[in-house]
Amino acid sequence: MPHVLTAAELPVAELLRRADDWRTRLQANPTPPVQPRAVLIALLFYEPSTRTRAAFEQASVLLGYHPLVITAEASSVAKGESLHDTVRTLCAQGVRAIVMRHPQAGAPQAAAQVATAPILNAGDGAHEHPTQAMLDLYTLWRHFGMPDPATRWLTGRKVAIVGDIRHSRVARSNLTLLTQAGAEVWLCAPPTLMPDAPLPNAMLTHDADAAVANADVVMTLRLQTERMQQGLLPNLNAYRRDYQIN
């Protein structure tokens, strides 16, 4: 199994088919398969997480694996252990894969340089979140009738992503996968929450009404206050008025 570091590297058509195959199997028989020996999956989380961590932990158990959950504050990371040393230790203990979340963009790539097990990027700073984007795409694929995943099956569909675009790794990874599938993607945020660097293949707007007009899909993003500098959002009430989706 190769590393999964960015959305662009994902074999999307294969993953959509395999995900649906596993969904069908687990619905028919929810008992986890018995592995010939204990297979360990490390969940290495340097940031707080509820949904992503729980989803990976649940998936590990349902597939018959044993998740090892390591958080920064409850491990030797709190004593100053480097990322490389943590990854080397987990690999020496025989983990089959390392699912990693980190506040620094590029940390999974750094981990992959020394890892002997695959690194799965579960979010790195404001850079990428390829597994979340893959799950979002799978949801849309099923919603639109599971067309041939090897085609540009979202051609003619408009997808609006509204909220804190500047700090959103989810928006970046979704933009990659959605445009690969043929979607017209609109990114909408106030000027201070738009990224400085251009995002290719996206329509940019500060007008939420224009973004969601005639959209087939609307994705909303939370405010990532943990990454936000002071002054980027001077008036929360004005933000709610102009960008809240309800």
Catalytic residues: 51-52, 79, 101, 129
For 231, residues 6+ apart whose C-beta sits below 8 A from its C-beta are 192
Residues 6+ apart with CB under 8 A from 122: 43, 45, 49, 52, 53, 56, 99, 100, 101, 129, 131
Per-residue DSSP letter, 113:
T
| Closest of 62, 11, 21 to residue 39, by C-alpha | 62
* 183/132 Cα distance (integer angstroms): 17
Instruction: Confirm if 64 and 95 have CB atoms less than 8 A apart.
Output: no
Angle between helices 130-143 and 12-28 in degrees, nearest 10: 70
The number of C-alpha atoms within 13 Å of 193 and in the hemisphere containing its C-beta is 28
Enumerate the β-bridge partners of residue 44: 70, 100
The answer to whether the CB of 45 falls within 8 A of the CB of 121 is no
Gap between the Cα atoms of 13 and 7, Å rounded: 13
